[in-house]
C-alpha cells in the first residue's frame, strides 16, 4: 500500500499521490459514444452471423466439411469484432474503475469527517468551530473530468486507527455529529455578517436589474440552536464548504476577501446567501456538487468574470444573474435547467456560454444582446428552434447545437460572418432543411451536418470555400448524390459549384 501510514497527514499525502496516478476519466460524450459503438458492433456481428449460417450447403460439399468452414468463418468474424470492440470496452472499463474510485473516496471522506469532528456542543449552545479546524479545511480537487471532493481537514495528527474504527451505533434520538461538524453555526447579530449581506442585496437589486429581492428564509441560514422543526431537519441535512465560514468571518472582521474560490466536486448541497458579501470574487467554481439552487445574492458578486456550476442538480438560475455585468465565462453544463433567465441578456461581457446536457426547450430572445459572445454551446438539450435575435451575435465564432430537436437553422444565423465552427449534427429526422443563404457564412472552417434528414444543399453552399472540415454522412442526400458526398468535401464543393453554374445558365436561357 506504499509507505506506512500512522497519522491523518500520512493518509492525505497518499490520497494525493493516488489521485495523480489514476488515468483521466473519460468524458460523458466518450462514454456514450463507446456504448453506441459497442451496440452497433453487436448488431453488426449478429447480422453477419445470421447471414453466414443462412447460407445453404452446396450439394457437392459434405455437410460436415461445410459446417467446419462456417465455424472457421464464425471464429474470424468474432475475432475481428472483438478487436473493434476492444478500445470501446476499455473506455467503459475505465469509467467503471472511476466509479469504484469515487465510492472509495466518499468512504474515506466519511471516515475523515467522523475522525476530525470536534466534541458535540451543548444542547442549548451553538458555538463556532475551532478556528484551527476551519482554517485547516481545504478542498482536494480531482481532475476536471469529474469525481467527488474529499474534504480533508485539521493539522493535528491523529492515529490511523481513529479512521478505521467504525462509529458507535447511534442512540435515539439519533445524533448527527458529522453533519453538525459540516455546518458550523454563527449568530447573525444586528449589523453583522448576515444583516449586512441582506442590506447590500436589497440595495443592489433596486439599483441594478430592478428585480425584487428574495427575502431570505430563516431555514436558509445556519440554525442558532437545535430544533425539532422540519425546516431545521432539512437545514441540518445540508452540506456546505467547511472553510466558507472562516472566509466569511475574515472578510467581515479584517476586510480580507479572496478573488477566487474553488468548491468543486465536494458533494455540497447548499451555498448560503451570505456568500454575496465576497464582492471581490472574480472566479467561483461550484462544479461537481449537488446544488439544487443558487442563492439570489450571487448577483452581488459584480466583479465575477468566471462562474462554473457544471454537474449539479440545478433546474433554474436566479434572475439576479443579470447583475453580473463583468461575467465572461459561464458554465452550466450537466444540470436539469429548462430555461435561461431573461436577465441573461444583461451579462453583456459574456464571451463563453456552455449550457450542454440540460433540458432547455428554448433560448430567450435576450441572448441576442450578448454581442461579445464568441462561444455558444447548447448541445444535448431539447431545443426545437433558435431565436432570430442570434443575428446580433456578431462576435460568435463557435456554435454547437447538435443533439437537439431542431428542424432547421434560422435564416438570421446566416449573417454571422465571424462564425468559424458550426455543429448542427444529430438532430436526426427533425432536421430537414438549411437556410437558402447559408453560403453567406464564408468564414466557416468546420461544418458538421451529419446524422440529420437533409436531402438537398442550397445553391449558395458553393460559396463556403474556406471549409477545412465538412461532415455530411448519415443523411438521405439527393443533391449532391450520395456517391459525391462519399468522396469528401472537395467533391461536394465542386459539385455544388457546377450545379450553380448550370442553374445560372438555364436561368439566362429562360430570360
Looking at residue 120, its pLDDT comes to: 43
- Sign of the alpha-carbon torsion through 247, 181, 299, 386: positive
What is the per-residue pLDDT across 399-444, written as a single tens digit (0 to 9) for each? 999 999 999 999 999 999 999 999 999 998 889 999 999 999 999 9
Contact 154, 116 (CB under 8 A): yes
Its pTM stands at 0.57
Looking at residue 299, its pLDDT comes to: 95
Helix extents (H) in 210-289: 230-236, 244-254
Q: Taking the domain 256-359, which CATH number applies?
A: 3.80.10.10
Confidence of residue 25 (pLDDT cuts 50, 70, 90): confident
What is the per-residue pLDDT across 165-187, written as a single tens digit (0 to 9) for each? 334 444 444 444 433 333 333 33
Helix extents (H) in 57-190: 63-116, 131-136, 161-164, 177-182
Looking at residue 455, its pLDDT comes to: 92
Looking at residue 29, its pLDDT comes to: 76
Contact 183, 225 (CB under 8 A): no
- A 10 A CB-CB count for 282 gives 16
Mean pLDDT of the chain: 76
Looking at residue 162, its pLDDT comes to: 35
Lowest-confidence region among 105-119, 403-417, 423-437, 486-500: 105-119
What is the per-residue pLDDT across 259-294, written as a single tens digit (0 to 9) for each? 999 999 999 999 999 999 999 999 999 999 999 999
Confidence of residue 20 (pLDDT cuts 50, 70, 90): low
3-class state of residue 38 by DSSP = helix
Among 250, 311, 300, 253, CA closest to 272: 300
Confidence of residue 469 (pLDDT cuts 50, 70, 90): very high
Is a pLDDT exceeding 80 seen at residue 114? no
Residue where the block lists cell 442570434: 390
Task: Report DSSP letters for 269-315, one per residue.
Answer: ----GGGGG-TT--EEE--SS--S---GGGGG-TT--EEE--SS--S
- Could you tell me the CA-to-CA distances from 238 to 148, 272, 291, 412 in Å, in that order? 16, 11, 10, 46
With both helix axes pointing from N to C terminus, report the angle between 63-116 and 28-54 in degrees, rounded to the nearest 10.
160
Looking at residue 245, its pLDDT comes to: 84
Confidence of residue 62 (pLDDT cuts 50, 70, 90): confident
Is a pLDDT exceeding 60 seen at residue 76? yes
Looking at residue 127, its pLDDT comes to: 36
What is the per-residue pLDDT across 304-359, written as a single tens digit (0 to 9) for each? 999 999 999 999 999 999 999 999 999 999 999 999 999 999 999 999 999 999 99
Architecture of the structural domain at 370-511: Alpha-Beta Horseshoe (3.80)
Lowest-confidence region among 98-112, 212-226, 362-376: 212-226
Looking at residue 206, its pLDDT comes to: 43
- Could you tell me the CA-to-CA distances from 475 to 303, 465, 480, 485, 488 in Å, in that order? 47, 22, 11, 10, 14
Q: Over pLDDT 70: what percentage of the chain?
A: 67
What is the per-residue pLDDT across 211-255, written as a single tens digit (0 to 9) for each? 333 333 333 333 332 333 333 334 445 788 888 888 888 888 888
Residues of each domain in the chain carrying CATH 3.80.10.10: 256-359, 370-511
Amino acid at each position: 500500500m506504499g509507505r506506512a501510514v500512522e497519522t491523518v497527514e500520512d493518509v492525505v499525502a497518499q490520497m494525493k499521490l493516488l489521485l495523480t496516478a489514476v488515468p483521466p476519466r473519460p468524458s460523458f460524450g466518450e462514454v456514450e459514444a463507446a456504448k453506441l459503438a459497442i451496440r452497433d458492433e453487436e448488431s453488426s456481428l449478429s447480422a453477419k452471423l445470421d447471414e453466414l449460417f443462412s447460407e445453404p450447403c452446396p450439394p457437392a460439399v459434405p455437410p460436415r466439411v461445410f459446417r467446419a468452414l462456417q465455424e472457421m468463418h464464425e471464429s474470424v468474424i468474432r475475432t475481428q469484432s472483438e478487436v473493434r470492440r476492444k478500445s470501446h470496452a476499455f473506455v467503459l472499463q475505465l469509467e467503471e474503475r472511476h466509479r469504484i474510485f469515487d465510492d472509495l473516496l466518499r468512504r474515506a471522506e466519511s471516515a475523515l469527517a467522523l475522525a476530525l469532528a470536534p466534541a458535540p456542543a451543548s444542547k442549548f449552545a451553538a458555538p463556532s468551530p475551532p478556528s484551527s479546524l476551519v482554517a485547516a479545511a481545504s478542498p482536494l480537487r480531482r481532475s476536471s473530468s469529474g469525481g467527488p471532493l474529499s474534504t480533508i481537514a485539521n493539522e493535528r495528527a491523529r492515529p490511523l486507527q481513529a479512521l478505521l474504527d467504525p462509529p458507535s451505533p447511534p442512540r435515539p434520538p439519533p445524533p448527527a455529529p458529522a453533519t453538525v461538524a459540516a455546518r458550523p453555526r454563527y449568530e447573525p447579530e444586528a449589523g453583522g455578517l448576515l444583516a449586512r449581506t441582506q442590506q447590500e442585496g436589497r440595495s443592489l437589486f433596486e439599483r441594478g436589474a430592478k428585480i425584487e429581492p428574495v427575502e431570505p428564509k430563516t431555514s436558509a441560514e445556519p440554525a442558532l440552536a437545535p430544533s425539532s422543526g422540519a425546516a431545521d431537519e432539512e437545514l441540518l441535512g445540508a452540506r456546505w464548504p467547511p472553510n466558507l465560514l472562516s472566509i466569511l468571518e475574515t472578510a467581515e472582521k479584517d476586510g480580507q476577501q479572496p478573488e477566487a474560490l474553488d468548491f468543486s466536486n465536494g458533494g455540497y448541497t447548499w451555498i448560503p446567501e451570505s456568500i454575496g458579501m465576497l464582492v471581490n470574487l472574480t472566479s467561483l467554481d461550484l462544479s461537481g456538487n449537488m446544488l439544487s439552487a443558487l442563492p439570489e445574492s450571487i448577483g452581488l458578486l459584480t466583479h465575477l468574470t468566471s462562474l462554473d456550476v457544471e454537474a449539479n442538480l440545478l433546474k433554474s438560475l436566479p434572475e439576479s444573474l443579470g447583475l453580473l455585468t463583468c461575467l465572461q465565462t459561464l458554465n452550466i453544463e450537466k444540470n436539469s435547467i429548462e430555461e435561461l433567465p431573461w436577465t441573461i441578456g444583461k451579462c453583456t461581457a459574456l464571451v463563453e456560454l456552455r449550457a450542454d446536457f440540460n433540458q432547455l426547450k428554448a433560448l430567450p430572445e435576450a441572448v441576442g444582446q450578448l454581442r461579445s459572445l464568441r462561444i455558444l454551446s447548447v448541445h444535448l438539450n431539447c431545443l426545437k428552434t433558435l431565436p432570430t435575435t442570434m443575428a446580433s451575435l456578431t462576435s460568435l465564432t463557435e456554435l454547437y447545437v447538435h443533439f437537439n430537436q431542431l428542424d432547421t437553422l434560422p435564416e438570421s444565423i446566416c449573417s454571422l460572418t465571424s462564425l468559424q465552427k458550426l455543429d448542427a449534427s444529430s438532430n436526426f429526422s427533425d432536421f430537414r432543411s438549411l437556410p437558402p443563404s447559408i453560403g453567406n457564412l464564408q468564414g466557416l472552417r468546420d461544418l458538421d451536418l451529419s446524422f440529420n434528414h437533409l436531402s438537398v444543399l442550397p445553391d449558395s453552399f458553393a460559396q463556403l470555400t474556406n471549409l477545412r472540415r465538412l461532415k455530411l454522412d448519415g443523411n438521405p442526400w439527393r443533391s449532391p448524390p450520395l456517391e459525391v458526398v462519399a468522396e469528401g468535401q472537395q467533391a461536394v464543393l465542386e459539385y455544388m459549384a457546377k450545379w450553380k453554374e448550370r442553374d445560372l445558365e438555364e436561368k439566362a436561357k429562360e430570360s
